[in-house]
């Protein structure tokens, strides 16, 4: 493989897949059964089994470690260690075993010659994968001999792959230009959501959400447990009846298939011989119909769709504004999910991918083929005194590749050090692009509180703020006070990004350039905080400007500033008067018993 060529690698919670682009089309490297490789590892003495062979030996349902078998090792990333059959293992090593196996099997297949050595990859990740878990995943790929060109959110990769696979992509771009697209990847391990706007060939994320509480594996477990409960109840048996572990796994396979088979059939038979132990009739036999399946899984479906509604509510978008809903992942073929989507969004706007199991890896491969680089979708800003905002990292900034860091340093002043703390709030506009207005809605990302000299005058306490984004898409901020030598640090893991689709040989426009006045900002003019959110009053500034100092504080240093002939800002005049006792009665200015201010002109009180 050429050093400049990378593959798409979808390391999934349930299955994993490698895809490359050859001759203008995506080639998926599957296992001997023509399916993605199961993300399962089995440790037997000195032997390590991975993939379908390991999955067949899985002796009981459930994610994580089961005896000497690890199902879905991806969920273990971030832990220091796990014990497997009494032996301590590093999750990075376990994941590396899966990655090594998948890459070896992909090369060993009948089309492996077209693939060559896998040295570089665009790797997909869930939208809610924390930064420290991304770093651990990078370490696992490195152990497997693969460098990660860049991470890409799974639903964003799926959307990129969808557009790239269209016969007339230019027509699709014109059709959906400046419209909203909802993508959900409902797979075995997670439900991942992204709301995007297509703007002049640029896919721009508006909002993301994800959960592990409603993945397909959870559905399988719920169906299995309910079927066993119903069979026991029908036979008048209690739940203490023992089952054969191997038979439990066979039932789990049946439940996994039931979600799909019931899309074309009214009912199916779940039959597992030798399921129970120590009772006369050891076989499990149960007829499950479509209505029964939907009743069993109804609470999980409600939980998943509530996340979709929440995402749209946060973005202030109604289902009627969605031009297309792209559904991918194994769960997308479940009839109940299709029915709810059709009812909620409309069948003409719902696109269930025929390649739901491979589309994410294909999208990653196209991103690698096009050398499409992630760009920051929204400004990362610093809230300043008087509710002004200073961009720290601008929309359109290209995200670092492996080993790179995007870094900058800012020099800040404290305009009001009286409480002994400088307050930093990093925030992001809800509107993508760099052209945002002061009154556009913002969402907080991280708060940093740094100790300062409470007796210092305004602007005397110098502050520094370092902002870095690394190749794991983690934004790290460090604030310091130069006098007190205090420091505060924070991290942001949930940034949004954009990807440019190729158009007439170009790589598209920057996020910074594509958002203009023609794009409706549905959130403009709305409050910049949600109900129950902390109201943050910033006391820092990037310039020495007395208009940013509270009036009552500035008056103690500069009385001449408030001379009416100098036309001081009215808000500072009011601040000064609010905190100053009445010159006649001595009461506070907001004391209802003080009637003096109504008798005196304002100028006489200054």
What is the tens place of the pLDDT at every residue in 112-156? 677 878 999 999 999 989 999 999 999 999 999 999 999 999 999
Q: Does residue 99 surpass a pLDDT of 90? A: yes
Give the phi and the psi of residue 398 in degrees, each rounded to 5.
-70, 130
**Choice between 552 and 216, residue whose per-residue pLDDT is larger:** 552
Average pLDDT over residues 328-348: 86
Give which of 217, 204, 205, 208 is closest to 12, Cα–Cα: 217
pTM reported for the whole predicted model? 0.86
Which whole number is the average pLDDT over 246-252? 79
Task: Over range 441-465, report the average pLDDT.
Answer: 93
Query: Which whole-number Å values give the CA distances from 342 to 263, 325, 337, 339, 346, in the listed order?
Result: 15, 10, 9, 5, 4
3-class DSSP state of 44: strand
Quote the pLDDT of residue 518.
39
Task: Determine the longest span between alpha carbons in the chain, in angstroms.
Answer: 101
Would you state the structure tokens that stand for residue 415, as one six-digit string?
């305009």
H or E stretch covering 104: helix 91-108
pLDDT greater at residue 67 or residue 427 = 427
Distance set, CA 388 to CA 495, 522, 552 (Å): 21, 21, 20
Domains and CATH numbers, the chain: 1-155 (3.30.420.40), 216-297 (3.90.640.10), 375-541 (2.60.34.10), 550-605 (no CATH)
pLDDT band at 511 (very low <50, low <70, confident <90, very high): low
What digits encode the pLDDT tens for the residues 287-335? 999 889 889 989 999 998 999 999 999 888 999 999 999 999 878 878 8
pLDDT of 558 strictly over 50: yes
What percent of the chain lies above the pLDDT cut of 70? 89
């Amino acid at each position: 493989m050429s050093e400049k060529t990378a593959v798409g690698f979808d390391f999934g919670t349930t299955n994993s897949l490698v895809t490359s682009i050859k001759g203008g089309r995506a080639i998926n490297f599957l296992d001997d059964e023509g399916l993605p490789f199961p993300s399962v590892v089995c440790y037997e003495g000195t032997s390590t089994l991975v993939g379908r062979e390991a999955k067949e030996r899985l002796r009981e349902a459930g994610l994580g470690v089961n005896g000497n078998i690890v199902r879905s090792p991806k969920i273990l990333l971030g832990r220091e260690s796990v014990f497997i059959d009494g032996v301590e293992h590093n999750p990075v090593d376990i994941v590396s075993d899966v990655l090594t196996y998948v890459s070896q099997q992909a090369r060993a297949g009948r089309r492996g010659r077209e693939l060559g050595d896998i040295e570089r990859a665009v790797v997909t990740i869930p939208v809610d994968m924390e930064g420290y878990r991304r770093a651990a995943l990078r370490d696992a790929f490195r152990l497997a001999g693969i460098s990660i060109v860049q991470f890409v959110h799974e639903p964003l990769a799926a959307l990129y792959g969808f557009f790239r696979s269209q016969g007339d992509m230019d027509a699709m771009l014109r059709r959906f230009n400046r419209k909203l697209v909802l993508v959900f990847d409902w797979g075995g391990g997670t439900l991942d959501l992204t709301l995007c706007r297509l703007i002049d060939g640029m896919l721009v994320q508006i909002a993301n959400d994800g959960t592990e509480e409603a993945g397909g594996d959870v559905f399988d477990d719920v169906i299995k447990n309910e079927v066993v409960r119903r069979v026991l109840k029908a036979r008048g048996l209690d739940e203490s009846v023992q089952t054969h572990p191997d038979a439990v796994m066979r039932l789990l396979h049946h439940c996994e298939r039931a979600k799909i088979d019931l899309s074309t059939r009214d009912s199916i038979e779940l039959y597992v011989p030798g399921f129970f132990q120590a009772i006369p009739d050891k076989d499990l036999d149960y007829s499950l119909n479509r209505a029964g399946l939907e009743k069993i899984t109804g609470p999980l479906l409600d939980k998943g769709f509530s996340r979709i509604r929440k995402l749209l509510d946060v973005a202030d978008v109604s289902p009627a504004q969605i031009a297309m809903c792209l559904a991918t992942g194994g769960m997308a073929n479940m009839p109940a999910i299709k029915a709810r989507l059709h009812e909620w969004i409309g069948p003409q706007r719902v696109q269930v991918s025929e390649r739901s199991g491979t589309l994410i890896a294909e999208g990653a491969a196209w991103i690698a083929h096009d050398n499409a680089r992630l760009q920051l979708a929204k400004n990362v800003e610093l809230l300043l005194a008087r509710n002004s905002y200073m961009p720290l990292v601008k929309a359109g900034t290209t995200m670092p590749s492996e080993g790179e860091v995007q870094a900058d340093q800012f020099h800040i002043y404290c305009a009001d050090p009286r409480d002994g703390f400088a307050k930093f709030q990093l925030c992001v506009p809800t509107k993508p692009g760099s052209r945002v207005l002061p009154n556009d809605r913002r969402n907080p990302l991280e708060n940093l509180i740094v100790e300062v000299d409470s007796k210092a005058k305004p602007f005397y306490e110098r502050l520094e703020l370092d902002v870095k984004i690394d190749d794991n898409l983690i934004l790290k901020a460090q604030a310091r006070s130069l006098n007190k030598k205090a420091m505060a640090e924070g991290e942001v893991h949930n940034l949004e990004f954009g990807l440019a689709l190729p158009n007439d040989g170009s790589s598209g426009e920057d996020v910074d350039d594509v958002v203009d006045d023609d794009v409706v900002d549905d959130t403009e003019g709305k409050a910049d905080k949600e109900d129950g959110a902390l109201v943050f009053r910033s006391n820092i500034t990037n310039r020495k400007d007395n208009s940013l100092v509270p009036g009552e504080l500035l008056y103690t240093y500069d009385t001449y500033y408030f001379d009416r002939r100098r036309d001081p800002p009215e808000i500072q005049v009011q601040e000064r008067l609010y905190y100053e006792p009445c010159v006649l009665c001595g009461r506070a200015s907001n004391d209802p018993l003080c009637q003096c201010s109504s008798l005196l002109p304002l100028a006489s009180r200054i």
